[in-house]
Structure 1
């Protein structure tokens, strides 16, 4: 294990420079184990965030290269907050988080209003407006939909409001859920072109062993996936009301870091130090290049609605040649999908090698299989002289 451990001098320049910041806080940091919001915890978090908001109105665009170090009170913040389901438990007389979807949705319906009201009142102490944005994976997996989400978030920031983002648990089904707000936060950070993602929970970082056992050391910096090789990463929120654990937080950090966004993973009690760039939590160093917005959403947020089976030549062309998928390379189709839906591209064994946005309905695919675009255009018209999945709308799952 090659991670840098506590005590090493870390110069977190990217954290200090960050202008647009996404902060995610988990249920366990806002509520009691029995359910219900802890107003003092919410206020404590808001006190920290408010100090970093720009007093001169909204900032625009990413930090310019070469600008002087940023000072507190000169930032835009998007807050991704869990807690809706947990907040709704006590009012509904539930002793613990329900396992069935219907009662989870009911708790979210009650709790989301309480959560937003608490944040609205707390931020109002600083004259900060809050705008609620509820998302599902289905809202963000399609190009047009994720553009709308990005536009809404950008406009809220431009108008001086703080976006409060959560998964739309009241209507989300198992098929369209993000699964946890850690992954949602990573995707939102990419969507808004954030300069920093801060993941807050009740654990102060990634450890090289069980953090509750003597001898375990905090890993202060992760330069890449290899730094965590051999590190046992497990566990759930200690308060018992969240869905995420360290596994989901590390995966979210990897998603954001791979997209070029630095990440600090620490406890909510260390939020002030994290935003100030001090040596707290675990810092995930970002990759040098950002990937395209829609491709990150396609890979990590979309739910495939079907599959296309490719012949061996098409697999090589897509995976090794970065080519579009043409009708001639399709050997079969599975599922009931519409044009624009995400589908998996599978080899002859059924292994998904890529995911992409398909240009045809599933019912149209059988008559396209194995045929050239020129032949199809002559028989069916010019609308059929195109790729089934364009390379610009495709991500490799096993490069």
Structure 2
């Protein structure tokens, strides 16, 4: 069954498994957890369980909470060290509150702290998938956050919107629900009296991206509408719809479902699990710049051959994830490369019949095979 409208997220047949992401500005107020508001949200989650839905929570707030308790300025984001220390203090309090409130309703909470690498490396990604499935089957609520106390700039998601989308891929969720400090995506600056809320979006393109602003409205979190659109794109690769609703109200999910207020990014049929994982990766080891003929060939379902490559960027080994871009550097696809970067430099632009003489061994069938490639 397809999810066609926001209210479908409350239907256990259409949406049996959902990822709910909660932003920092909703969870933390005046330097502490907004316990009464969170208690209402937990009650809503319990109602979803009674309807027969499985729920995964992606919870922000650890850095903001820890910074308040440590009396750090800039919300704990003045330096990487401040953010890591704030997260270490805030995470224990935040997870304890989730555990307490869910436990009062008879539901065990399970904490999972993830780094970017946990979802970028295939084996670790599969381990995350297995753990999530076991917890959900056992009736627990996984409460997930980025492991900010050890993550560095190089191995961070940077915001929990994209983390929620990657978790949804790993868990094979039916939908992602982002609770924000705004009703959804507007066609222009929401401060403009002429701005209109877009209730349905079919595909995120350049026009949709142009409507977004990059910053977090509260100044407390790390995301903004741009990160939410990126999350919608990641979810779409796996055929998962994503919705944004305003979490500032009491019982925000119930309100959104009753009024239909929010933005639903519908999704087309997604890639296979492996291609969804590949397409959703955020760190590439290099880039292959390809000509127009190769772009057309990829879109027709073919593999990438050396003849269509015009430039190599970066240094990488065989099996590494690489970005595939057109001559204007627009991202076309991501894939796992069959040659290292030095070999690619030697054979770019050449026909397969000539490659054995260049390399000294029989060439592989493609530089990136279509089975190891995800179009974007």
Please say whether Structure 1 and Structure 2 have the same fold, judged by a TM-score greater than 0.5.
yes
**CA-CA distance at 1:141 after TM superposition:** 2.6
How much has 1:249 moved relative to structure 2? 2.4
Structure 2 residue 303 is matched with structure 1 residue 308:
no
2:78, 2:225 → 1: CA distance? 20
Measured in 2, the distance between the counterparts of 1:309 and 1:223 equals 29
Determine if contact 1:27/1:242 at 8 Å carries over to the other structure: yes
The residue that corresponds to 2:366 in the other structure is 387
**What is aligned with 1:117?**
96
Which residue in the other structure is 1:26 paired with? 23
Question: Following the alignment from structure 2 to structure 1, what is the Cα–Cα distance between the partners of residues 121 and 319?
Answer: 7
* TM-fit CA distance, 1:227: 12
Alpha carbon RMSD of aligned pairs, Å? Answer: 3.4
| CA 174–189 in structure 1, closer or farther in 2 if over 3 Å, else same | same
1:363 CA drift (Å):
4.7
The structure richer in helix per residue is 2
Q: Deviations over 1:18-64 (max 9, x none)?
A: 2111101000000125x44333333232122122224xxxxxxxxxx
1:273 is aligned to 254
Q: 1:190: Cα distance to partner?
A: 2.8
Aligned residues between the structures: 366
Supply the distance in 2 between the matched residues of 1:335 and 1:327 (Cα, whole angstroms).
16
State yes or no: 1:47 paired with 2:43. Answer: yes
Shift of 1:395: 2.5
One of 108, 111, 126 as aligned partner of 1:129? 108
Q: Distance in 2 between matches of 1:89 and 1:225?
A: 35
Deviation sequence 1:248-300 (CA, Å, 0-9, x none): 2244345435643333311223433167x322432415234122233333333
For residue 380 of structure 1, report the CA deviation from its aligned partner.
6.0
Paired residue secondary structure (1:164): strand
Cα distance change on mapping 1:127 and 1:288 into 2, 3 Å: same
Is the Cα contact below 8 Å between 2:72 and 2:82 reproduced in 1? no
Match of 2:54 in 1: 76
- What's the counterpart of residue 166 of structure 2? 187
Distance of aligned partners of 1:51 and 1:225 in 2 relative to their CA distance in 1, 3 Å threshold: same
Gaps of 5+ in 2: none
Distance (whole Å) between structure 1 residues aligned to residue 306 and residue 211 of structure 2: 45
TM-score normalised by structure 2 residue count: 0.82
In the alignment, which residue of structure 1 is the partner of 2:74? 96
Distance in 1 of aligned mates of 2:229 and 2:171: 20
State the alpha-carbon separation in 1 of the partners of residues 7 and 74 from structure 2: 39
The secondary structure found in structure 1 opposite 2:87 is helix
Structure 1 range deviating more: 258-267 or 388-397: 258-267
Larger relative contact order (CA 8 Å, sep ≥ 6): 1
Cα distance between partner residues in 2 of 1:282 and 1:214: 18
Report the counterpart of residue 264 of structure 2 in structure 1.
Answer: 284
TM-score, normalised relative to structure 1? 0.78
Hey, what's the Cα distance between the residues in 2 that align with 1:202 and 1:312?
42
Q: How does 1:1-399 map to 2 (within 5 A)?
A: 12-13=7-8, 15-17=10-12, 18-32=15-29, 35-54=31-50, 72=51, 74-97=52-75, 98-208=77-187, 210-211=189-190, 216-225=195-204, 232-234=211-213, 236-257=215-236, 259-268=238-247, 269=249, 270-273=251-254, 277-310=257-290, 314-318=294-298, 320-347=299-326, 352-366=331-345, 369=348, 370=350, 372=352, 376=356, 385-397=364-376
Offset at 1:242? 0.7
| SS of equivalent to 2:48 | coil
What CA deviation, in whole Å up to 9, does each residue of 1:79-124 have, x standing for no partner?
A: 0111121121022221322243232222222222222122112211
Asked if the contact 1:53–1:76 (Cα under 8 Å) also holds between the matched residues in 2, the reply is yes
Q: Tell me, in whole angstroms, the C-alpha distance in 2 between the residues paired with 1:210 and 1:347.
A: 32
Q: Secondary structure at the match of 1:343?
A: strand
- State the distance in 2 between where 1:393 and 1:83 align: 37
